[in-house]
Amino acid sequence: MKDKKIITIQDISCYGQCSLTVALPILSAAGYETAIIPSAVLSTHTAGFKGFTFHDLTSEIPHILDHYKKEGIKFDALYSGYLGGKDQIELVKRMKNEVLNEGGIYAFDPAMADQGKLYPAFDNNYVNEMKELVKISDIILPNLTEACFLTDTPYLEKYDEEYVKEVMKKLVKMGAKKVVLTGISYKEDKLGVAIYEDGYKYYEHERISKGCHGTGDVYASAFLGAYMKSNDLFKASKIAADYVVLCIKNTINDPSHWYGVKFEPMLKEYIAMLK
C-alpha cells in the first residue's frame, strides 16, 4: 500500500504554537509524511507579542515548485493555511495544478478573520482574491466570520440553524465541494461544528469559556489527519473538535501559557482517536 503524503503551505511562527509548528507534528502523528512550504518566517505569532520579526518567503516558493516539478514529486493532499497576499494565493493555485496527485484533496483554511473582523494585515481586496480558492477547494474549513466574508453575507453574533445552512450553501455554490464550519453555537454553554456534504449535519460539544490562540490551526490539522484515514467528513470533524477541547483543557489552568494550547502532550489521545 502506497504511503500518503501531504504538503502544507502556511507561515512559520517560530514560537507560539500555530501554523506550521502545529500542522507538522499533528499530521506526522497521524502517520503522514508531511512536506512544508513556509510562506513567511516570524519570530512569534502576532497576537499578543510585540516587536516580532517577519521575513516574507514568497519569492522562494516558485523555485521550490520548479524543483518539485523537475523531480516529479507529488502529494495526496494539499493544505493551505495563513497566506501573505495575492501572490501566494496564485501560488496555491499553481500547487494544486502541479504537485497534487490526480484525485488528491485540497483542504483550504482561510485563516484571515474572526469575531466579525478581518485580521489587521488583510482587506476586502484580499478577501476577493481568496474567493478564487473557494472555487477550487475540495474541503473548506472557515469559521463563521471567514465564511461570511467569503460569501458577502452580513455577520451576525446571534443566529439560527437556517442562517448557518444558507452561508454553507453559498460556499458550495461558489465551488467548494465540502464545508466544515467551526465555532458554531446555538446554545450558550455549547459549541460545535457544522458540516455540509450532500446535506447538513452538526456536531455539538461543550463550550470552554477561555479561548486560546492557535486552536483553528490545531483543528484544521487534526481534521485533515483524520479525514485522510476515513474519508468520513463527520467523523473527522468530531475527532478534531474533541481533540481541540482536550488541548484547551490541558492549557487553561496555566496562566503563563497564554499564547497557544499545549497540544503536544495530547497527541497520544489524538492517535488513539484515529484508531
Tell me whether residue 35 is exposed, middle or buried, using C-beta atoms within 10 angstroms of its C-beta: 0 to 12, 13 to 18, 19 or more.
middle
Render pLDDT for 84-95 as a digit per residue (tens, 0 to 9). Answer: 888 999 999 999
pTM: 0.96
CB-CB contact of 7 with 37 (8 Å): yes
- In the 8-state DSSP scheme, what is residue 3? P
CATH number of the domain where residue 257 is located = 3.40.1190.20
Q: What is the predicted pLDDT for the residue at 1?
A: 58
Where the chain has pLDDT below 70, the residues are 1
Q: What is the predicted pLDDT for the residue at 85?
A: 86
Render pLDDT for 4-55 as a digit per residue (tens, 0 to 9). Answer: 999 999 999 999 999 999 999 999 999 999 999 999 999 999 888 999 999 9
Range of the domain at 113: 5-274
CB-CB contact of 32 with 225 (8 Å): yes
Provide the b/e sequence for 145-165 (b: ≥16 CB within 10 Å): bbbbbbbeeebeeebeeeebb
Total domains in the fold of the chain: 1
